[in-house]
Structure 1
Amino acid sequence: MADFDHRTDVLIVGSGAGALVGALVVREAGLEPLVVEKTDRIGGSSAMSGGGLWIPNNPVSREAGLDDSFEKAWRYLEAVVPDAGPAASPERRRAFLEHGPEMVEFLRRLGFRWHAAIGYPDYYPEKPGGSVTGRAIEGAIFDGRLLGPWLQRLRTYPGMPPIPVHTNEVSAFLVSLRTWRGFMMALRIFSRLIPRLWGRVPMGLGASLVGQLLHLCLQRQVPIWLESPLVELIAENGRVVGAVVEREGRRLRIAARGGVLLAAGGFEHNQEMRERYLPHPTRKEWAVGAPGNTGDAIRAAQAIGAAVALMDKAWGGPVVITPQGQPLFLVGERSLPFSIIVDSKGERFMNESASYVDCWRWQYERHRQVPAIPAWLIMESRHRRYYPFGTLPPGITPRSATGPQFLVRANTLRDLAQRIGVDPEGLERTVARFNEMARRGRDEDFHRGDSAYDRFYGDPRVKPNPNLGPLERPPFYATAVYPGELGTAGGLLTNEWGQVVREDGRPIPGLYATGNAAASIFGGTYPGPGSTLGPACVFAYIGMQHVVRTLREAD
Structure 2
Amino acid sequence: MAPSLWQRRGVRVTAAVSAVAVGTVLAIRTNRQRKHLPPDSIARAANSVRQRPDGSYETDVLVVGSGGAALAAALRARSLGLSVLVTEKNAKVGGTTAYSGSGCWIPNTHVHNDTRDSPEKALTYLESIIGDVGPASSRERKLAFLREGPEMVKYLEDEGYRWIPTPGYPDYHQFHPGAMIGGRSIEAGAFDRNLLGPWKDMININPARAPVAMYTFELSKMVRAKADWDGKVTAAKAFGLRVYPAWLLGSHTSTLGVSMISQLLYLNLRRGTSLWVSSPLKDLQTDKQGDVVGATVEHGGKPVTVHVSRGVVLAAGGFAHNAEMRQKYQPKGITSDWTSASRGDQGDAITAAIKIGAATALMDSAWWGTSIIDPATNQPYWCLYDRVMPHSIIVDQEGRRFANESLNYNTLGTKLWEHSKDHPAIPSYMVMDTTHRNKYVLAGKLLPGFTPQSALDSGFLTKADSIPELAEKLGVPARNLAETVERFNGFAKKGVDEDFERGKSPYDRFLGDPSYKNPNLGELSKPPYYAVKIWPGDLGTKGGVLTDEHARALREGKEKGKYEPIRGLYAIGNSSASVMGRTYAGAGSTLGPGLTFGYIAANDMAKRQDASK
Q: TM-score range by the shorter chain?
A: over 0.9
Equivalent of residue 64 in structure 2, options 3, 9, 13: 13
Write out aligned runs for 1:210-221 (5 A).
Answer: 210-221=261-272
Q: TM-score, normalised on structure 1?
A: 0.97
Once residues 82 and 468 of structure 1 are traced to their aligned partners in structure 2, the CA distance between those partners, rounded to angstroms, is: 32
- AA of the residue aligned to 1:68: D
Write out aligned runs for 1:506-545 (5 A).
Answer: 506-545=564-603
Q: Following TM superposition, by how much is the alpha carbon of 1:159 offset from its aligned partner in structure 2, in angstroms? A: 4.5
State the SS of the aligned residue for 2:247: helix
Write out aligned runs for 1:157-236 (5 A).
Answer: 157-191=206-240, 192-194=242-244, 195-236=246-287
Write out aligned runs for 1:357-396 (5 A).
Answer: 357-389=410-442, 390-396=444-450
Q: Following TM superposition, by how much is the alpha carbon of 1:247 offset from its aligned partner in structure 2, in angstroms? A: 1.1
Q: Following TM superposition, by how much is the alpha carbon of 1:82 offset from its aligned partner in structure 2, in angstroms? A: 2.4
Which residue in the other structure is 1:56 paired with? 107
Which residue in the other structure is 2:159 paired with? 110
Once residues 152 and 420 of structure 1 are traced to their aligned partners in structure 2, the CA distance between those partners, rounded to angstroms, is: 42
Cα shift readout 1:59-87 (whole Å, capped 9, x = no counterpart): 1011xx56321011011112111210000
Aligned Cα root-mean-square deviation (Å): 1.5
Report the more deviating stretch, 191-200 or 210-219. 191-200
Larger Rg: 2
Q: Following TM superposition, by how much is the alpha carbon of 1:407 offset from its aligned partner in structure 2, in angstroms? A: 1.5
Report the more deviating stretch, 157-166 or 499-508. 157-166
Which residue in the other structure is 2:175 paired with? 126
C-alpha contact 1:378 1:478 (8 A) present in aligned 2: yes
Which residue in the other structure is 2:461 paired with? 407
Which residue in the other structure is 2:12 paired with? none
Once residues 218 and 544 of structure 1 are traced to their aligned partners in structure 2, the CA distance between those partners, rounded to angstroms, is: 17
C-alpha contact 2:308 2:612 (8 A) present in aligned 1: no
- AA of the residue aligned to 2:445: T
C-alpha contact 2:556 2:564 (8 A) present in aligned 1: yes
Q: TM-score, normalised on structure 2?
A: 0.88
C-alpha contact 2:163 2:189 (8 A) present in aligned 1: yes
Once residues 502 and 432 of structure 1 are traced to their aligned partners in structure 2, the CA distance between those partners, rounded to angstroms, is: 56
Residue 471 (structure 1) aligned with residue 524 (structure 2): yes
- Structure 1 pair 153/66, CA: closer, same or farther in 2 (3 Å)? farther
Which residue in the other structure is 1:493 paired with? 546
Q: Following TM superposition, by how much is the alpha carbon of 1:4 offset from its aligned partner in structure 2, in angstroms? A: 6.5
C-alpha contact 1:122 1:134 (8 A) present in aligned 2: no
4+ residue stretches of structure 1 with deviation over 4 A?
1-4, 552-555
Equivalent of residue 502 in structure 1, options 530, 555, 562: 555
- AA of the residue aligned to 2:410: V
State the SS of the aligned residue for 1:319: strand
State the SS of the aligned residue for 2:387: helix
Equivalent of residue 504 in structure 2, options 415, 440, 450: 450
- Structure 1 pair 309/383, CA: closer, same or farther in 2 (3 Å)? same
State the SS of the aligned residue for 2:283: strand
Once residues 80 and 536 of structure 2 are traced to their aligned partners in structure 1, the CA distance between those partners, rounded to angstroms, is: 43
Report the more deviating stretch, 512-521 or 361-370. 361-370
Once residues 431 and 410 of structure 1 are traced to their aligned partners in structure 2, the CA distance between those partners, rounded to angstroms, is: 15
Write out aligned runs for 1:260-271 (5 A).
Answer: 260-271=312-323
Once residues 4 and 527 of structure 1 are traced to their aligned partners in structure 2, the CA distance between those partners, rounded to angstroms, is: 47
- AA of the residue aligned to 1:122: D
Q: Following TM superposition, by how much is the alpha carbon of 1:519 offset from its aligned partner in structure 2, in angstroms? A: 0.3
Q: Following TM superposition, by how much is the alpha carbon of 1:184 offset from its aligned partner in structure 2, in angstroms? A: 1.0
Cα shift readout 1:14-66 (whole Å, capped 9, x = no counterpart): 0000100011111101110000000011000001111101001111011xx56
- AA of the residue aligned to 1:171: S
Equivalent of residue 340 in structure 2, options 268, 271, 288: 288
Q: Following TM superposition, by how much is the alpha carbon of 1:182 offset from its aligned partner in structure 2, in angstroms? A: 1.8
Q: Following TM superposition, by how much is the alpha carbon of 1:401 offset from its aligned partner in structure 2, in angstroms? A: 2.4
Residue 23 (structure 1) aligned with residue 81 (structure 2): no
Which residue in the other structure is 2:356 paired with? 304
Report the more deviating stretch, 480-489 or 161-170. 161-170
Q: Following TM superposition, by how much is the alpha carbon of 1:125 offset from its aligned partner in structure 2, in angstroms? A: 2.5
Which residue in the other structure is 1:440 paired with? 494
Report the more deviating stretch, 161-170 or 444-453. 161-170
Once residues 225 and 410 of structure 1 are traced to their aligned partners in structure 2, the CA distance between those partners, rounded to angstroms, is: 52
Once residues 582 and 264 of structure 2 are traced to their aligned partners in structure 1, the CA distance between those partners, rounded to angstroms, is: 27
Which residue in the other structure is 2:309 paired with? 257
Cα shift readout 1:467-494 (whole Å, capped 9, x = no counterpart): 0111111011111111011100111100
Cα shift readout 1:117-171 (whole Å, capped 9, x = no counterpart): 0111111123211111241111111111111111100011104332211111112
Q: Following TM superposition, by how much is the alpha carbon of 1:436 offset from its aligned partner in structure 2, in angstroms? A: 0.4
Query: Which ranges in structure 2 are unaligned for 5 or more consecutive residues?
Result: 1-51, 558-562
Which residue in the other structure is 2:451 paired with? 397
Which residue in the other structure is 2:606 paired with? 548
- AA of the residue aligned to 1:116: P
State the SS of the aligned residue for 1:333: coil
Q: Following TM superposition, by how much is the alpha carbon of 1:287 offset from its aligned partner in structure 2, in angstroms? A: 1.1
Once residues 324 and 375 of structure 1 are traced to their aligned partners in structure 2, the CA distance between those partners, rounded to angstroms, is: 20
Once residues 493 and 550 of structure 2 are traced to their aligned partners in structure 1, the CA distance between those partners, rounded to angstroms, is: 52
Once residues 71 and 82 of structure 1 are traced to their aligned partners in structure 2, the CA distance between those partners, rounded to angstroms, is: 16
State the SS of the aligned residue for 2:567: strand
Residue 346 (structure 1) aligned with residue 399 (structure 2): yes
- AA of the residue aligned to 2:381: L
State the SS of the aligned residue for 1:402: helix
Residue 417 (structure 1) aligned with residue 417 (structure 2): no
- Aligned-residue sequence identity (percent) comes to 46
State the SS of the aligned residue for 1:383: helix
The count of corresponding residues between Structure 1 and Structure 2 is 552
State the SS of the aligned residue for 1:334: coil
Report the more deviating stretch, 170-179 or 471-480. 170-179
State the SS of the aligned residue for 1:543: helix
